[in-house]
Chains A and B, each alone.
Chain A
Amino acid sequence: MKIWVPCDAAAVACGADEVAAALASAAGLRGEEVEIVRNGTRGMIWLEPLVEIERDGVRHGFGPMEPEDVPALFEGGDHPKALGPIEEIPFFAKQTRLTFARCGRTDPLSLADYEADEGWQGLKRALELGGAQTIEEVTTSGLRGRGGAGFPTGIKWKTVAGAEAPQKYIVCNADEGDSGSFADRMLMEGDPYCLIEGMAIAGLAVGATKGFIYVRSEYPHAIRTLNAAIKAARAAGIIGDSLMGQGPAFDLEVRVGAGAYICGEETSLLNSLEGKRGMVRAKPPLPALEGAFGKPTVVNNVLSLAAVPWILVHGGAAYAEFGLGRSRGTIPIQIAGNVKHGGLFETGFGMSLGTLVNEIGGGTASGRPFKAVQVGGPLGAYHGPDDFDLPVCYEAFADQGGLVGHAGFVVHDDSADMLALARYAMEFCAIESCGKCTPCRIGAVRGIETLDRVAAGDPAAIELLHELCEVMEKGSLCAMGGFTPYPVRSAIRLFPQEFSLSQEAAE
């Protein structure tokens, strides 16, 4: 009997290791031959630990499992946690899994699993096509930076490819610090070779021989998995002195962050990689021309790079068939917070916010009425039911004074205290600001103070807060100070009464 128990950090946090141990001991007691595979997660986190058992060639799910649910798995008959065929669960069946096609199906570190499931096919194609045509394929796909900025990946690659330098770099931004985001982590833990393949293709395309994956220190599981995967890929001759024994050299190294949110900003990340304080750099020069160690550098998010193998195998045009407007392809949406069905949902751009929250997410976890959803991490705006028609794509959210960002959606029920959340946004900015520019460094601190005045009922404070937000938005060097006003102002716009009640009481 073959049984899968995810090794993903979220599954482990919910008790997957204990379930795996219970399975091994129950099987041992009964003298049953079982093979326990630690797969990545399917992304249905509310069902974790989600155990899968193969029956007649179909994988059936059981979850959320606890160790005491294990013996019944061996007894036949109906299991109280049975979910039926895993890929028929609506949350899963409704997705378009391109980037996450393998995640959850395979043993993340098994090269055999990877190869059997389309692995390295994109790299092989890129080796046949050569750099220029590989970039052409990525440009055709319409792929844009999945880290949040949405810059066209093909154009970035072309700029680096065109730069003359003795050394170029591929830097993967895996400093996924946004609350509500876990897609990078899930991919690194669940399908690390996919990221390695994407980076190898990028290296080949632009003429870079070295890649760095900058991972936040809060992700120890992902760091371990990546290091093991890089070692295995090198030993198998896929990366190293020559890509697959026929291409140029390309090697990879994992670098670990040190607990600074700002290092998710690409220029700050580059400084950190160089061993400096993670201070934001002014642009220009663009990292594409003067990036890591002053050399031309592709800086791409995990999801951008991991989308590339599929694009190379199936063609840029096939990828571009998914999506809406100028947002092409699929977006791995992360539904989190106070939501019934939290997890990763990969779909073409264009699904409406309301569908996502109510139908896919199943409403709030608490069962209380929905209040607001923050989209795009701590710098993203809050959206209420009035925005439920908004399609998930870069332009639509930007037009509404928000952002899709890294596509983390954090749902709040009606118990959310919007003034406290607005204050938290400023507090977070004050803690994490790199300090280089004044609007962010000082503005965030003044923002906390001004919100405290609002809470104390100072009638002049709201106007002052708006002015401060204006200065931060227009005067900050990067998105940290520039977008921190988004959650603050959207909270005020959506729930003005929560910012004036105390005023009225005082008057």
Chain B
Amino acid sequence: MTEDDRLAAILADHAGREGALLPILHDVQAAYGCVPADCYQPIADALRLSRAEVAGVVSFYHDFRDAPAGKHVVKLCRAEACQSMGGTEMIARLERALGMKVGETKGDVTLEAVYCLGLCACAPAAMVGDQLVGRATPERIEALVAEVSA
């Protein structure tokens, strides 16, 4: 399937749906790893919106990327409950160990901040790919990163 076909298929899937833009953007990101700017106009046309409206929605939400992330996304919770259990120090140690900062991609790995995973009673919390980590330590996350990127 060409790229255009993939987008056309996504748009067809959501034809006639109420408030379809977010579901479409989620599907586009799942297919392409990001929401490429090339997609704005076709999406706008399908939903009878302006290109600017689509661009405005994409830029509003933290989830939507303009470039694909690394193959392995590590989300680290920065919120209060995780801070109370040493989350800030954990993030700093992990940054040093991996030689990268939150918000950066290095090789296959992207480090990202997240604001609450709902794991506040087993803080600090993180997510490595699809895997949730409670009572997280830098060692455990490093080991998981090594495991998934091996």
Contact = CB atoms under 8 A, between A and B. Distances in A.
Interface of A: 9-10, 12-14, 45-46, 48, 176-182, 184-185, 217-221, 255-261, 272-278, 292-293, 334-339, 342-344, 365, 374, 378, 408, 410-413, 416, 420-421, 424, 428, 431-432, 434
B118 A182 contact: yes
A258 B22 contact: yes
Contacts of A334: 120-121
B83 interface: yes
B124 to A, nearest CB: 10
Contact of A258 (B53, B64, B119, B120): B64
A274 B121 CA distance: 33
B63 interface: yes
Contacts of B92: none
B119 A10 contact: yes
A23 to B, nearest CB: 19
Interface string B104-117: 00000000001111
The 6 A-B pairs with the shortest beta carbon distances in the complex, nearest first, are: A275-B21, A342-B121, A13-B134, A179-B79, A258-B61, A336-B120
Contacts of A256: 22-23, 26
Contacts of A365: 85
Given A177-B115, A339-B121, A342-B121, 14 more contacts: A9-B132, A180-B80, A181-B116, A182-B118, A184-B118, A255-B19, A255-B22, A258-B25, A258-B63, A259-B63, A272-B22, A276-B53, A412-B84, A421-B83
A336 B125 CA distance: 12
B80 A277 contact: no
Nearest to B53: A276
B9 interface: no
Interface majority SS on A: helix, strand, loop or mixed? mixed
A378 B79 contact: yes
Interface of B: 18-23, 25-26, 47, 53, 56-57, 60-64, 78-85, 88, 114-123, 125, 130, 132-135
A256 B133 CA distance: 22
Nearest to A278: B60
A292 B83 CA distance: 36
A13 B125 contact: yes
Given A13-B132, A179-B79, A258-B22, A185 B118 contact: yes
Contacts of A343: 121
B60 A338 contact: no
A293 B118 CA distance: 29
Contact of A336 (B57, B88, B123): B123
Contacts of B82: 179
Nearest to A182: B118
Contacts, number: 151
Given A259-B63, A275-B22, A218 B81 contact: no
B62 A182 contact: no
B44 to A, nearest CB: 11
B19 A416 contact: no
**Interface centre among B25, B61, B125, by most A CB within 10 Å?**
B61
Contact of B118 (A181, A338, A431): A181
Contact of B120 (A180, A218, A277, A278): A180
Contact of B123 (A273, A337, A408, A420): A337
11 contacts: A45-B121, A179-B79, A258-B25, A259-B61, A273-B22, A274-B19, A277-B57, A336-B81, A344-B121, A413-B84, A421-B80
A85 B23 CA distance: 45
Contact of A14 (B21, B120, B135): B135
Nearest to A270: B19
B83 A259 contact: no
Given A13-B132, A274-B19, A410 B84 contact: yes
A378 B80 contact: yes
Contacts of B20: 275
Contacts of A48: 122, 134
A179 B120 contact: yes
A9 B131 CA distance: 10
B130 A220 contact: yes
A179 B81 contact: yes
Nearest to A219: B118
B121 A335 contact: yes
Contacts of B133: 13
A337 B134 contact: no
Nearest to A380: B80
A258 B18 CA distance: 17
